[in-house]
A and B are shown apart, each in its own frame.
Chain A
Amino acid sequence: MRITVNGTAHELASAPLTPLLHVLREELHITSPKAGCQQGSCGTCTVIVDGEARRSCLLPVAAVDGAHITTLEGIGTPDALSPLQAAFLEKAAAQCGFCTPGFVTAATALLAENATPSRGEIREALSGHYCRCTGYVKILEAVEAVAGRAL
């Protein structure tokens, strides 16, 4: 099996039913997707698979053979933040940071589909993501701040 992660192609050694999350974290040492619940409930393992936000903890790697995957590391770097990452930083939308990978990847996928989402559409897109620190308001404000701007 072969996947492309953040622009780099990888031949995989993991068994076909290994969750994509474990392939990313344990085999490829790409650690931004987190193991929050490993039941598809919390959203912090979310990555973008061929343009779609998916839960990597429930996704057997065989199901994404050949796919292009973007993790939070691939969206922007400390030296070159994406506008959404910059907004998360500026609006204090990341507190402990453990849920942030899921929120930023899911919101990035949303904005790529719909550049001017309403607050309702943002809420719906992020509804499967838990944040225990911020109370969500700052996260919604960060996404709204870049809605309508180039990603």
Chain B
Amino acid sequence: MKSVGASLPKYDGIGHVTGTTVYVDDVPTPNGTLWAKALRSPAHRANIKRIDYTKAAALPGVHAIVTHEDIPVNTYGHLSGLGVPADEPLLAESELRYLGQPIALVVAESEAIAAEAVAAITLELEELEPLFDIRKAWDPGAPQIHQWGNWYTQFEGGLDRRQIRKGDVDAAFDRADLIVEGVYRPQAIEHVPMETQVCLVVPEPSGKLVIHSCTQAMYFSMGVVAAHLQLPLNKLKFVGGTVGGGFGGKVDTATETLCAVAARKARRPVKWRWTREEEFLVSSTRAPWHVEIADAVSKDGWILGRKMLTLHDSGAYARFSPYGLTKHSFHHTGAYTIPNLRFDGYVVFSNRVPTTAMRGFGVTSVSYSTEIHLQRIAHELKIDPYEIRLKNANRIGDTTGNGVVITDPSTVSTIQMVAEAAGDELKGDYRTMTSAMRTGDLLPEHLVGQLGNPEDH
């Protein structure tokens, strides 16, 4: 208990401030290390008609060209372990679904030779119309970009969406004084870690692979590599834990698997480091979202019901998006309790780079949207923005949309602290209110009985 409450020096800070921390790119490369460069899709969406590696393979210094045929299990999903069906080929086979999608990996004596070899590969494509706007995914005649169609269809119970139902939302809308609608579109963000994706794989004579990785998720990445290569975990020795910034973007296993396949094929150590351009153009981003909210409100500022539709742009493949959308759905009332809910969320595919985790995966999009929406409601009702938040705040004993009984909410104290820090005076009871359990129903006395009791549904 000596550490609790104490201010301790950062455990790895001494290496950082003296330049002695060893990041993956700083690991000395063994003699004979080869360098990798990827052939990437030059199109957003296309069918591969022909690839000719002859010239590239004949270049002096080129040791191997890895294609999908070299990978024991080419198609694997990042959430396969949780039952999310595999959809993403490690190297493209016949269809290209995003600009920059890897098709082959060349390993050569130097990065320059590898890049020259990539440029010498002949690639003939049949370009197809891409889908970028997820709102058009349902249009008749929209490009069909995925084997499942344009949205993910594998949620529990065979549903093609993540849905939440609570109370009687139609009754709430019938009885509302006002319905406030809003559409919110938080956009994609690139993580921009200072350290670009980088990996060094050293094969040992025993067949074991030593994998120097900048992943944020060591054991997860081990599982991904093992699944693609069909190797037992005792053949993989991951060396990592020193990450030059990740922010969620290094949860996806970006380089380790292909580097490992290449090292096995070439029987030499292989290093692959992405340029800043690759990091920007090809690495996963935070997802863009499309969020529609309609709230049924009473004129004194109670939110009686919420209907919400969320479209989560997953990019070309599912990766972690079903999980991100699930987190989003659990938070779709924000830090507030709303008795009647109808939420529908879809993971929609597009011909963008696959999107992934980033700081508050799935949640920042919903917090952004719902907080702006609360502000809009307060503005339309001409009531205090603090008041609407405190009135509808989570309280002890409240139940969330996904059925969790809240035992230790902090909404009330947080809003009160915000008001104090901003120098705004809270009115009357709002200054002294606590998170204590509501007396009677969730709703104030005059609304009890007007709405279906959530517990009945």
Contacts and interface: CB of A to CB of B under 8 A. Distances in A.
Given A39-B276, A81-B18, A132 B9 contact: no
A132 B245 contact: yes
Give 4 closest A-B pairs by Cβ, nearest first.
A32-B19, A97-B16, A72-B19, A98-B244
A99 interface: yes
Interface in B2-31: 9-10, 12-23, 25-26, 28
26 contacts: A31-B22, A32-B18, A32-B20, A34-B23, A34-B25, A36-B194, A36-B276, A72-B19, A73-B20, A75-B18, A77-B18, A92-B13, A94-B13, A96-B16, A96-B194, A97-B12, A97-B16, A97-B21, A98-B194, A98-B244, A99-B194, A100-B19, A104-B17, A131-B194, A132-B194, A132-B245
B17 A88 contact: yes
A132 B17 contact: no
- For this complex, into which size category does the number of interface residues on chain A fall? 35 or more
A44 B245 CA distance: 13
Contacts of B28: 29
A37 interface: yes
A32 B18 CA distance: 8
A73 B18 contact: yes
A34 B276 contact: no
Interface of A: 25, 29, 31-32, 34-39, 42, 44, 71-73, 75-78, 81, 85-86, 88-90, 92, 94-101, 104, 130-133
Interface of B: 9-10, 12-23, 25-26, 28, 191-196, 243-247, 273, 275-276
B275 A38 contact: yes
Given A31-B22, A94-B10, A97-B13, 7 more contacts: A31-B23, A34-B23, A34-B25, A39-B276, A89-B9, A98-B23, A130-B192
Given A31-B26, A92-B10, A71 B19 contact: yes
B17 to A, nearest CB: 4
Contact of A34 (B191, B195, B247): B195
Contacts of A81: 14, 17-18
- Of residues B19, B20, B25, which shows the largest number of chain A Cβ atoms within 10 Å of its Cβ? B19
Contact of B17 (A42, A94, A98, A133): A94
A92 B193 CA distance: 18
Contacts of A44: 194
A67 B9 CA distance: 36
Contact of A96 (B19, B192, B245): B245
A32 B23 CA distance: 10
B18 A35 contact: no
B23 to A, nearest CB: 7
Contacts of B246: 96
Contacts of B193: 96, 98, 132
Contacts of A38: 275-276
Contacts of A75: 18
Contacts of B26: 25, 31
A101 to B, nearest CB: 5
Given A36-B194, A39-B276, A92-B10, A73 B17 contact: no
Contacts of B20: 32, 73, 77-78
A101 B16 CA distance: 8
B18 to A, nearest CB: 5
Nearest to B14: A78
Contacts of B13: 88-89, 92, 94, 97
B195 to A, nearest CB: 5
B192 A132 contact: yes
Given A34-B195, A44-B194, A94-B17, A132 B276 contact: no
B14 A96 contact: no
A42 B244 CA distance: 13
B357 to A, nearest CB: 15
Contacts of B21: 97
A48 to B, nearest CB: 13
A97 B18 CA distance: 10
A119 to B, nearest CB: 21
Contacts of A88: 13, 16-17
A14 to B, nearest CB: 14
Contacts of A96: 16, 193-195, 243-246
Contacts of A72: 17-19
Contacts of A76: 17-18
B275 A78 contact: no
Nearest to B275: A38
A85 B18 contact: yes
